[in-house]
């Protein structure tokens, strides 16, 4: 049977010769890593369930969320993981190392055809080298540490054929922002996406990483690049052995095939609040900024650093603007030092920090304050993600040029004299910031009042903000649910046990944080119903026995916020007892039902 790349990789790591979309199989995991958030809960599961490590040579901790250890809770959590690692002989990539997924590529641990699992929702970045990477919650990670495998549902595949010639000046970040403009946050939800074309084959490793990293923001399971000779040679050198790629069969079946004309791609910027809300950079030119950030797993590579240095060389950051740069790994940091890039950065007035996730994870430099306008190379700009200000997403060259100009612009339009905020503008920004709201962030049938929230793409930062990630006690989590979702900041105070939450597409997109699931359980919410879920969130909920259900349509239910509804997990029937209507939605799967009745994966 002909297979796609994802189907071949999964089959190669299962007991089956071939697999097809929809199959649920156990997959052997080649690399299993917990980060400095999620890691302490993995340790907690091990102690509570008396688990043992399957293979220490494949098991790791990576401290990349807060590599400065500047937050007391993170410092405590890191030490919990260090002690556990010492007891079990597990390798720790500590705070001096950088982003874990990048390290796996550098160290030859992840290469074409391999499988990796981490508590990082951007683990699918490994699709850049034709490997299968997934971010999952702490329960899945504990199982992977102990068993060496996890269950996974084989996804449908989509093929993107990139046609035409890449325009001059279009960066890899521009490419993925153009793709986000085309597909949004949920058109490719749950798919494994393969990229093909002459321009795709020319992409460097660093460029592939940039594009693959934002697959999460597009809702994909993963973006997979068929490895070219350059990638195979690099991975063979790093792994110390000859590496062969995994490629789709010529007659492999795809759910959809799209032809995309790259020749019409433009320099793009994501507007504050949504990574997929992208516009031509012309529409944002002259927006004055307070700060810039270059780094994250999306744009912290050496090519990004070199491109930034070209723009900054011989220039100064605009007065009143702060530019923060964080390379993705220590190896890249040292390369910047050797090539004189750090010197260029410092002479331009840049703050350079040690390698890590930086502002993207709210754990290092890169945060902004109320009213602050930031242009960033990160992969997300959800409200509150990098702080309490507004964040535009752009390429490294655009961020560097904007920091020099004092406003959003391209590297070829840097003015001779930078613009600065006038005293009146500063007063207006301060007033606006003060007015802005704080971003606070086993029955088969259940019945309760419904919270009907007709909104797509409610991400995990809106559900459970990243400033609470160090919380590990489930009893403390409920009070923060939805406190970063506009209009529902008081949800946790008003919700009652047995209440039901009903939303729309792509609920729980974004981070792999388990707290975004456990917080609902702590509040006593009986079920969360959505048209579709973020892939990681869906796994976390099922594994935690937190009831979730999906629907294709609500037509006929005549639903309004506050109605009383009755839901049957086994049949999928929803009865609106307030209106006397009923419909059927997707019931629990056999696997979900088994885990639910077992009160969780363990």
**67-71, 108-112, 294-298, 322-326 — which is least confidently predicted?**
67-71
CATH no. for residue 551?
Answer: 3.20.19.10
CATH no. for residue 45?
Answer: 3.30.499.10
pLDDT of residue 427: 65
The residue among 227, 244, 264 that closes a domain is 264
Q: Is residue 175 part of a domain?
A: yes
pLDDT in tens, 466-482: 888 888 888 889 999 99
**What confidence tier does 305 reach under pLDDT thresholds 50, 70, 90?**
very high
Residues 305 and 336 in one domain: yes
pLDDT in tens, 41-86: 899 999 999 999 999 999 999 998 877 767 777 888 899 999 999 9
pLDDT of residue 281: 85
pLDDT reading at 369 higher than 50: yes
N-term to C-term CA, the chain: 35
| CA gap 498, 481 in Å, rounded | 16
The residue among 373, 405, 435 that closes a domain is 435
Instruction: Give the phi and the psi of residue 576 in degrees, each rounded to 5.
Output: -90, 95
Nearest CA to 397 out of 383, 386, 410, 407 is that of: 410
Contact 20, 153 (CB under 8 A): no
Whole domain around residue 142: which residue ranges?
A: 5-264
Residues 426 and 476 in one domain: no
Residues 300 and 235 in one domain: no
Contact 92, 67 (CB under 8 A): no
Nearest CA to 560 out of 510, 502, 602, 513 is that of: 502
Tokens encoding 150: 């996890």
Q: Is residue 602 part of a domain?
A: no
pLDDT reading at 360 higher than 80: no
pLDDT reading at 440 higher than 60: no
pLDDT of residue 441: 36
The residue among 393, 408, 435 that closes a domain is 435
pLDDT of residue 436: 56
pLDDT of residue 513: 86
DSSP string of 144-168? HHHHSEEEEEPPPEEEEEEES-PPT
Residues 285 and 216 in one domain: no
Residues 382 and 456 in one domain: no
Q: Is residue 440 part of a domain?
A: no
**89-103, 166-180, 359-373, 503-517 — which is least confidently predicted?**
359-373
pTM: 0.82
pLDDT of residue 77: 87
Nearest CA to 114 out of 33, 172, 195, 40 is that of: 33
Domain count, the chain: 3
**What confidence tier does 434 reach under pLDDT thresholds 50, 70, 90?**
low
CA 286 to each of CA 217, 272, 388, 528: distance values in angstroms, whole numbers, following the listed order: 26, 15, 22, 43
pLDDT reading at 359 higher than 90: no
Residues 228 and 350 in one domain: no
Residues 375 and 300 in one domain: yes
Residues 307 and 397 in one domain: yes
Contact 397, 171 (CB under 8 A): yes
With tokens 């001096």, the residue in question is 96
| CA gap 546, 529 in Å, rounded | 11
Helix, strand, or coil here: 508? coil
Q: Is residue 35 part of a domain?
A: yes
pLDDT in tens, 383-425: 666 777 888 999 999 999 999 999 999 998 999 888 877 767 6
**63-77, 124-138, 442-456 — which is least confidently predicted?**
63-77
User: How many residues are listed for the chain in this entry?
Assistant: 602
| CA gap 321, 490 in Å, rounded | 35
Q: Strands of 132-135's sheet, edge to edge? A: 91-93, 59-62, 31-35, 115-118, 132-135
- Mean pLDDT score, 419-435: 67
Tokens encoding 555: 């037509």
Tokens encoding 496: 């009652």
Residues 292 and 429 in one domain: yes
| CA gap 67, 329 in Å, rounded | 11
**What confidence tier does 144 reach under pLDDT thresholds 50, 70, 90?**
very high
Residues 87 and 189 in one domain: yes
Residues 249 and 277 in one domain: no
pLDDT of residue 432: 63
With tokens 């259900």, the residue in question is 549
Look over the chain and give the mean of its residue pLDDT values, rounded to a whole number.
90
Spatial neighbors of 487 by CB under 8 A, at least 6 apart, are none
Residues 202 and 275 in one domain: no
User: DSSP assignment, residue 329?
Assistant: B
| CA gap 199, 192 in Å, rounded | 20
């Amino acid at each position: 049977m002909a297979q796609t790349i994802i189907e071949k990789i999964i089959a190669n790591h299962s007991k089956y010769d071939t697999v097809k979309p929809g199959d649920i199989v156990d997959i052997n995991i080649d690399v299993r890593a917990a980060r400095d958030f999620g890691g302490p809960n993995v340790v907690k599961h091990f102690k509570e369930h008396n688990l043992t490590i399957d293979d220490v040579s494949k098991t790791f901790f990576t401290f990349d969320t807060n590599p400065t250890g500047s937050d007391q809770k993170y410092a405590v959590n890191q030490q919990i993981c260090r002690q556990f690692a010492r007891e079990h002989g597990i390798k720790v990539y500590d705070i001096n190392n950088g982003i874990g997924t990048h390290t796996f590529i550098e160290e030859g641990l992840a290469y074409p055809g391999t499988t990796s699992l981490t508590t990082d929702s951007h683990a699918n970045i490994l699709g850049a080298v034709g490997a299968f990477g997934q971010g999952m919650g702490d329960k899945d990670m504990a199982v992977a540490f102990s068993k060496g495998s996890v269950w996974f549902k084989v996804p449908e595949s989509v093929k993107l054929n990139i046609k035409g010639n890449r325009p001059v000046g279009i960066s890899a970040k521009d490419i993925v922002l153009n793709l986000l403009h085309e597909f949004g946050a949920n058109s490719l939800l749950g798919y494994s996406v393969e990229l093909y074309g002459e321009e795709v084959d020319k992409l460097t490793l660093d460029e592939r990483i940039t594009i693959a990293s934002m697959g999460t923001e597009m809702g994909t399971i993963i973006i997979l690049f068929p490895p070219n000779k350059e990638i195979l040679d690099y991975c063979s050198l790093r792994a110390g052995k000859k590496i062969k790629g995994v490629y789709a069969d010529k007659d492999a079946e795809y759910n959809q095939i799209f032809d995309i004309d790259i020749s019409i791609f433009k320099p793009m910027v994501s507007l504050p609040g949504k990574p997929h809300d992208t516009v031509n950079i012309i529409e944002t030119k002259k927006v004055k900024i307070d700060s810039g950030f270059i780094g994250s797993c999306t744009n912290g590579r050496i090519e990004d650093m070199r491109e930034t240095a070209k723009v900054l060389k011989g220039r100064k950051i605009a007065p009143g603007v702060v530019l923060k740069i964080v390379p993705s790994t220590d190896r890249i940091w040292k390369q910047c030092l050797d090539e004189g890039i750090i010197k260029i950065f410092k002479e331009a007035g840049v703050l350079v920090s040690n390698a890590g996730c930086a502002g993207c994870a709210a754990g290092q430099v890169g945060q902004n304050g109320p009213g602050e306008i930031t242009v960033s190379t990160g992969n997300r700009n959800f409200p509150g993600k990098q702080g309490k200000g507004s964040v535009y997403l752009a390429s490294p060259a655009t961020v560097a040029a904007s920091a020099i100009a004092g406003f959003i612009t391209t590297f070829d339009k840097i003015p001779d004299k930078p613009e600065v905020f006038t005293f009146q503008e500063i007063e207006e920004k301060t007033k606006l910031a003060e007015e802005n709201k704080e971003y606070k962030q086993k029955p088969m049938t259940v019945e309760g009042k419904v919270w009907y929230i007709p909104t797509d793409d409610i991400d995990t930062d809106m559900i459970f903000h990243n400033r609470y990630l160090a919380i590990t006690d489930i009893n403390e989590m409920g009070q923060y649910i939805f406190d970063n979702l506009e209009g529902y900041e008081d949800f946790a105070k008003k919700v009652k046990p047995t209440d039901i939450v009903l939303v729309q597409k792509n609920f729980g997109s974004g981070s792999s944080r388990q707290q975004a699931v456990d917080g609902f359980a702590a509040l006593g919410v009986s079920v969360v119903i959505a048209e579709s879920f973020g892939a990681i969130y869906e796994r976390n909920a099922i594994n935690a026995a937190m009831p979730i259900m999906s629907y294709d349509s609500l037509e006929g239910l005549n639903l309004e916020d506050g109605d009383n509804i009755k839901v049957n997990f086994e049949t999928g029937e929803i009865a609106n007892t307030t209106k006397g209507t009923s419909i059927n939605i997707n019931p629990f799967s056999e696997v979900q039902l088994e885990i639910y009745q077992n009160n969780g994966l363990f």
